[in-house]
Chain A
Amino acid sequence: MFRNNYDNDVTTFSPTGRIFQVEYALEAIKQGSAAVGMVSKNHVVLVALKRNAEELGSYQKKVIKIDEHLGVALAGLAPDARVLSNFLRQQAMSSKMVFNRPLNLSKAVYSIADKAQENTQSAGGRPYGVGLLIAGIDETGPHLYEFQPSGSVLEYYGTAIGARSQAARTFLEDKYEEFADASKEKLIEYALTALRDTLAQDKELNLYNTTVAVVGKDEPFTIYDDDRVQQWLDLLDSLSNKRHKSSDDENKEEGEEKNEEEEKNEEEEKKNDTEEAEQHDAAQDHPESSHEGDRMDTD
Chain B
Amino acid sequence: MNHNPVNWGRPSDDQYGPYNYQIANASNVASQATKNSQNEFPTMHTQQPMITGASVVAVKFNDGVVMATDKLGSYGSLLRLDDLERMIQVGDSTVVGVSGDISDFQYLQRLLDELLIEDNYDMEQSNLKASHVHEYLRGVFYNRRSKMNPLWNACVVAGFDADGEVFLKYVNLLGVSYSSPAIATGFGAYMGVPLLRQKVENEEDVKKLEKEDAIKLVRDCMKVLFYRDARSWDKYDLCVITKSTKKIEFQKGLECEGQSWKFARDISGYGLPQQ
Contacts and interface: CB of A to CB of B under 8 A. Distances in A.
Interface of A: 97-101, 104, 106-107, 110, 138-140
A101 B127 contact: yes
For this complex, into which size category does the number of interface residues on chain B fall? 10 to 19
B136 interface: yes
B23 interface: no
A139 B136 contact: no
Contact of B135 (A99, A106, A138): A99
Contacts of A138: 127
A106 B132 contact: no
Contacts of B125: 140
B14 interface: no
B212 interface: no
Interface of B: 122-125, 127-129, 131-132, 135-136, 139, 162
B127 A100 contact: no
Contacts of A139: 127, 162
Contacts of A101: 127, 129, 131-132, 135, 162
- Listed residue (A99, A101, A139) with the most chain B CB atoms within 10 angstroms of its CB: A99
A106 B123 CA distance: 6
A104 B139 contact: no
Contacts of B131: 100-101
B264 to A, nearest CB: 47
Given A100-B131, A101-B162, A139-B162, A106 B136 contact: no
A99 B134 CA distance: 8
Nearest to A111: B122
29 contacts: A97-B139, A98-B135, A98-B136, A98-B139, A99-B128, A99-B132, A99-B135, A99-B136, A100-B131, A100-B132, A100-B135, A101-B127, A101-B129, A101-B132, A101-B162, A104-B123, A104-B127, A106-B122, A106-B123, A106-B124, A107-B122, A107-B123, A110-B122, A138-B127, A139-B127, A139-B162, A140-B124, A140-B125, A140-B127
Contacts of B122: 106-107, 110
A99 B135 CA distance: 5
Contacts of B127: 101, 104, 138-140
Contacts of B139: 97-98
A138 B122 CA distance: 14
